[in-house]
Amino acid sequence: MSEPEAGRSGSASQAERASVLQLVFRRRGALIGAGWIGVLVLISVFAPFIANSRPLVMSVEGQLSSPLLQNLSAVDVTLLLAGFLTLVVCVIRLSASVRIAVVGIASLLCFLLCSQLLNPSRLTVHEQYRDASRAGQIEWLVSAPIPWSPKDYLRDFGDTGLQPPLIQSSRVHLMGTEENGADLLSRMVHASRLALGIGIVATGIALGLGVLLGGLMGYFSGWIDMLGMRVVEIFEAVPTLFLLLTFVAFFDRSLYMMMVIIGLTSWPGYARYVRAEFLRLRQLDYVQAAIVAGLPLQSILFRHILPNAAAPVLVAASFGVASAILAEATLSFLGLGLVDDPSWGQMLNQAVQSSTFNWWMALFPGFAIFMTVFSYNLIGESLRDALDPLVAENTAATPGARTASGKA
């Protein structure tokens, strides 16, 4: 792309993109979905500040300190920076690829730096601040809105275990406590990171693989297509959940392994979509025109075909995020998720563990999973609806076609 047109074409394509977004958000469903996801993103970025046993600021013998800030992990800091950069980048006018690159590179650097520099204490005695406070060692403190960490098992209270919300008079647990006595709301807040992360990363892996392989199969067809489709069929035949179960049984329970497995088993769907679009678009005159003009292959593939093939893939991806979240929740529900880290599915698991039905363990995480999956589905559906008529609208934009509704 040459320089002088960048400004003007940028604004034009922004107008075009804005109209797609407007169309998406004209639908109430998409608004609800995006609203819920937005709230989740905020919660997961600020999770340590929302729910933490460590005081935000405290004064010990006249000395001010912040145990919360001192114990932030590399992930916490990176998420904060990424969130902040995203806001900044949205305000500054930049092209989409530059925006993504800025946020991505900065976050990666930040993560690498922080994991070297920061050393949050590995073993935390959560009740130390409460004990100190009771003993009068702390003059005053400002605590987080939810003064419980997700892994704070309240050992200083003798009555820990499954308890419904708000039955203790001495302390507030808005959503009750789980089997080890940790505050459920705090765990819910921290689990939102896992839910968002697994959905986005797993779908990202699947999308990347699917677009690359599907695009190659569709454009080159012939032998590459033949072989590629067989690979697609092989991967489609792998049952995700059983593969996850097998890996969990043999190897360590790791979040990243789950993301990779879900990603590696769900790319064939995207590959099929992209392949079909490439097969169709390859025959279209404007791609033929690009070939006749002697344009290089990468321009034909990434400039003339891919942007026009993106719509159905994006729709499929938003449904894919939802199903990745469900896969993790299922695994955790079966008791094969992460060991200690909070996850909505694992909380659900506890709803029926002791012979009584612990309704608060079913209601809150269940609602969260439902809302998140539902939100992604709503967004996906609105995207699909918004992208379809836009194509029709563009074709009908000629004066002739408008009056005659395509006929004549």
Residue 231 in contact with other proteins, rule: CB under 8 A: no
Nearer to other proteins, 290 or 327 (CB): 290
CA quadruple 381, 383, 384, 388: dihedral sign: positive
Burial class (CB in 10 A: 0-12, 13-18, 19+), 256: exposed
The one among 145, 284, 335, 367 contacting other proteins by CB under 8 A: 284
Token pair 């449904």 is found at 319
Least Å distance, CB 12 to other proteins, is 6
Find the binder of other proteins among 19, 22, 288, 353 (CB under 8 A). Answer: 288
Determine which helix (DSSP H) or strand (DSSP E) holds 340, and give its type and residue range: none
Out of 1, 117, 249, 339, point to the residue binding other proteins (CB under 8 A): 1
> Please, which of residues 8-27 interact with other proteins by CB under 8 A?
8-9, 12-13, 16
Minimum CB distance to other proteins, residue 15 (Å): 10
Candidate list 27, 99, 303, 384; residue touching other proteins; CB under 8 A: 303
- Least Å distance, CB 382 to other proteins, is 18
With binding defined as CB under 8 A, does residue 291 bind other proteins?
yes
Q: If you write DSSP's letter for every residue of 191-219 in order, what string do you get?
A: HHHHHHHHHHHHHHHHHHHHHHHHHHHHH
CB of 77 to other proteins, least distance (A): 38
Interface positions, 176-205, toward other proteins (CB under 8 A): none
Among 95, 246, 299, 353, binds other proteins (CB under 8 A): 299
Stretch that binds other proteins, among 261-269, 315-323, 370-378, 392-400 (CB under 8 A): 392-400
Options 170, 298, 355, 403; binder of other proteins; rule CB under 8 A: 403
**8-state DSSP, 140:** E
At a CB cut-off of 8 Å and minimum separation 6, what does 312 contact? 273, 277, 384, 387
Piece of 71-79, 128-136, 158-166, 393-401 that binds other proteins (CB under 8 A): 393-401
User: Could you say whether residue 404 binds other proteins (CB under 8 A)?
Assistant: yes
d(CA 276, CA 229): 11
Among 87, 116, 296, 356, binds other proteins (CB under 8 A): 296
Minimum CB–partner distance for residue 29 and other proteins (Å): 20
Q: Are the C-beta atoms of 347 and 337 separated by less than 8 Å?
A: no
Angstrom distance (rounded) from CA 216 to CA 279? 10
Locate 181 and state its tokens.
């006595």
The rounded distance, in Å, linking the Cα atoms of 399 and 397 is: 6
Burial class (CB in 10 A: 0-12, 13-18, 19+), 206: buried
Q: Which of 140, 220, 256, 286 binds other proteins (CB under 8 A)?
A: 286
Nearer to other proteins among residue 98 and residue 289 (C-beta) = 289
From candidates 168, 194, 304, 346, binder to other proteins by CB under 8 A: 304
Which residue, 2 or 356, has its beta carbon nearer to other proteins? 2
Q: Residue 386 Cβ, how far from other proteins at the closest point, in Å?
A: 15
Which one of 4, 62, 136, 158 is in contact with other proteins (CB under 8 A)?
Answer: 4
Closer CB to other proteins, residue 15 or residue 87?
15
Q: Least separation, in Å, of the C-beta of 352 and other proteins?
A: 51
Cross-strand bridge partners of residue 138: 60
Q: Which stretch binds other proteins (CB under 8 A): 82-90, 239-247, 302-310, 333-341?
A: 302-310
Give, as ranges, the residues between 115 and 154 that touch other proteins (CB under 8 A): none
Q: Are 360 and 165 in contact (CB under 8 A)?
A: yes
Give the relative orientation of helices 306-333 and 184-220 as an angle to the nearest 10 degrees. Answer: 140
Q: In what order do the strands lie in the sheet with 63-65?
A: 63-65, 57-60, 138-142
DSSP string, 85-97: HHHHHHHS---HH
Give me the helices (H) in 93-182, please: 96-117, 128-134
Q: Which is nearer to other proteins, 164 or 312 (CB)?
A: 312
Buried b (16+ CB within 10 A) or exposed e, 41-74: bebbbbbbbbbbbbbbebeeeeeeeebbeebbeb
Which residues are at the interface with other proteins (CB under 8 A)? 1-5, 8-9, 12-13, 16, 284-286, 288-296, 299, 303-304, 307-308, 394-395, 397-405, 407-408
